């Protein structure tokens, strides 16, 4: 059941005509004001082309939303903040943003991202006409060297998620993420995000796998991911993602052909409890080189998924 969201709007949003692109940002209990400042500055230089819509997905603390309002109150860009009374989840809150947007295209950006280029929005604007879906990529260009607890996640994400456009285009759906994604609104209305996905992972891959690959374009127009997490939190999120791994495997037959699934199916024959324990210990051992710790994270994820497959009904 859809829950009613409260709406705050700035003065520029009053009677503003529909823009060409609605920039949509879901957030939960995090500092989103730096992103709002960057987007407002770039969009303000292109009057009438953009609107900003942020959605607070039931944050227990209000000061993040209040700081965001302070940034957007005097912005020349039409802006709204939607507020959910309780946490709806990653898919559901994005579907509410789709409903609220007025433009022909939506640009999804995660709250902990920051554009790498001063012409970030302009580049999307130039490509929007006729585009179905464009993914711009993810980087750590604007992130300082991380402290020890965050180095594993930083290194692992660099290796697995910060890939150039030419490489992403080889497997278009697998590399689509909602952290920096331009999509035609009609496409989103026809195929919204599956709200049965809860927690971390795979809701964007599931959505992209339901689209023709010819409609997916990858470009190099990256945004930096500022939201580093500690190493133990990374492993906990691997645990959390196992349910969604099973869910997408059940929903999308094409997913069963990707290397991660096929490897997990083979590994299900192994003693995964001991494999997971060994890989976890190696991943947390800071004395090891980061490349070996990253390999251990991949091994831990493989063991977690293999165990989940073994315990689930036959896929």
206 located within any domain: yes
Quick one: 278 and 160 in the same domain?
no
Query: Among 194, 229, 264, where does a domain finish?
Result: 229
Query: Among 210, 229, 248, where does a domain finish?
Result: 229
Quick one: 69 and 141 in the same domain?
yes
For the chain, what is the domain count?
A: 2
Quick one: 182 and 267 in the same domain?
no
What does the pLDDT read at residue 2? 58
Quick one: 189 and 249 in the same domain?
no
Question: Could you read off the pLDDT of 110-124 as tens digits, one per residue?
Answer: 999 999 999 999 999
SS3 readout for 197-258: CCCCCCHHHHHHHCCCHHHEEECCCCEEECCCCCHHHHHHHHHHHHHHHHHHHHHCHHHHHC
Quick one: 25 and 155 in the same domain?
yes
What does the pLDDT read at residue 234? 96
What does the pLDDT read at residue 1? 44
Quick one: 283 and 159 in the same domain?
no
Range of the domain at 209: 6-229
pTM for the whole structure: 0.91
302 located within any domain: yes
1 located within any domain: no
Query: Among 229, 244, 272, where does a domain finish?
Result: 229
Other C-beta atoms within 10 Å of 302: how many?
Answer: 22
| Per-residue DSSP letter, 175 | G
Quick one: 50 and 148 in the same domain?
yes
Quick one: 221 and 278 in the same domain?
no
Give the CATH number of the domain where residue 89 resides. Answer: 3.90.550.10
What does the pLDDT read at residue 165? 96
196 located within any domain: yes
Indicate the burial class of 72 (C-beta count within 10 angstroms; 0-12, 13-18, 19 or more): buried
214 located within any domain: yes
Q: Which residues of the chain have pLDDT under 50?
A: 1, 315
Question: Could you read off the pLDDT of 207-246 as tens digits, one per residue?
Answer: 888 888 888 999 999 999 999 999 999 999 999 999 999 9
- Beta strands at 133-135 and 216-218: parallel, antiparallel or unpaired: parallel
11 located within any domain: yes
Angle between the N-to-C axes of helices 272-283 and 231-251, in degrees from 0 to 180, rounded to the nearest 10: 140
């Amino acid at each position: 059941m859809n829950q009613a969201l409260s709406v705050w709007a700035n003065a520029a949003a009053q009677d503003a005509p529909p823009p060409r692109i609605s920039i949509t940002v879901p957030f939960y209990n995090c500092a989103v004001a730096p992103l709002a400042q960057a987007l407002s500055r770039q969009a303000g230089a292109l009057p009438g082309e953009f609107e900003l819509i942020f959605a607070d997905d039931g944050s227990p603390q209000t000061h993040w939303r209040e700081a965001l309002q302070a940034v957007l109150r005097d912005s020349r860009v039409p802006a709204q903040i939607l507020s959910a009374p309780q946490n709806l989840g990653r898919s559901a809150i994005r579907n509410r943003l789709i409903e609220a947007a007025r433009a022909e295209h939506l640009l999804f950006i995660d709250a902990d991202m920051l554009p790498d280029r001063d012409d970030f929005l302009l580049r999307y604007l130039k490509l929007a006409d006729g585009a179905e879906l464009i993914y711009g990529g993810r980087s750590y260009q604007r992130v300082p060297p991380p402290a020890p607890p965050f180095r594993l996640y930083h290194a692992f994400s660099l290796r697995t998620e910060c890939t150039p456009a030419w490489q992403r285009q080889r497997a278009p759906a697998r590399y689509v993420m909602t952290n920096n994604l331009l999509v035609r609104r009609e496409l989103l209305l026809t195929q919204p995000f599956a709200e049965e996905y809860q927690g971390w992972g795979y809701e964007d891959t599931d959505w992209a796998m339901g689209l023709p690959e010819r409609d997916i374009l990858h470009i190099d127009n990256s945004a930096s991911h500022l939201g580093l997490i500690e190493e133990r939190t990374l492993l906990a999120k691997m645990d959390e993602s196992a349910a969604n791994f099973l869910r997408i495997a059940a929903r999308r037959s094409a997913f069963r052909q990707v290397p991660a699934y096929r490897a997990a199916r083979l590994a299900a024959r192994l003693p995964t409890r001991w494999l997971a324990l060994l890989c976890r210990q190696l991943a947390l051992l800071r004395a090891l080189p980061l490349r070996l710790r990253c390999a251990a994270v991949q091994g831990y994820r493989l063991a977690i998924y293999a165990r989940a497959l073994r315990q689930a009904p036959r896929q």
